[in-house]
Amino acid sequence: MIFSLAVYSPPYSSQASESAYRFAEALLAEGHSLYRIFFYQDGVHNSSQLLTPPQDETDFTSRWRELSERHHIDLVVCIAAALKRGILDEEEANRYEKPAHNLHEGFALSGLGQLVDAALMSDRLVTFGG
């Protein structure tokens, strides 16, 4: 079966990112496929390459990236939700004349249409919120 996940919560503030990650690992281990993980609302904070957790805590951004590389999963971040929370890629930083960009490699900024597409292309869309 084809799954997609929607993550609406930031890491470290709630358990939702952890739950989403463990659900992703379990579904892949069961032989299902994961089409896309869509980060929306405060969930966009999962994609910042500047997150610097202590060594004994989970590094969510790197974990999503590794999972994506290993299983060819599309990591999409809502562009409107990201920009207003200070998550920018190089193109957007240039467009808005900002001094830096921080979207982690492997994540892509895009629109809500990608969430609709994930719902259409997947057998199940599972949301992990606040």
Partner 1 sequence: MSTLHTVNKSPFTHGTLASCLSICTDSDGVLLLEDGVFGAMTTTPCATRLTELIEQGVRVYALIDDVKARGLEKMLMSNIELTDYVGFVQLSTQHRCVQSWY
In whole angstroms, how close is the CB of 129 to partner 1 at the nearest point? 3
Stretch that binds partner 1, among 25-33, 46-54, 67-75, 93-101 (CB under 8 A): 25-33
CA geometry: angle 41, 105, 9, nearest 5 deg: 20
Residue 34 burial (C-beta neighbours within 10 Å; 0-12, 13-18, 19+) = buried
**Near partner 1 by CB under 8 A: residue from 27, 67, 73, 75:** 27
- Dihedrals φ, ψ of 99, to 5°? -75, -10
CB of 49 to partner 1, least distance (A): 27
User: Among 29, 56, 57, 99, which residue sits at the site for partner 1 (rule: CB under 8 A)?
Assistant: 29
Q: Is 78 a catalytic residue?
A: yes
Side chain identity at 56, as an amino acid letter?
D
Please give the Cα distance from 37 to 19 (Å, whole number).
13
The CA distance from 106 to 37, in Å, is 12
Residue 129 three-state SS: coil
* Closer of 1 and 121 to partner 1 (Cβ): 1
Choice between 69 and 123, CB closer to partner 1: 123
Q: Which residues are catalytic?
A: 78
Q: Which residues bind partner 1 (CB under 8 A)?
A: 1, 3, 8, 14-16, 19, 22-23, 25-27, 29-30, 32, 123-130
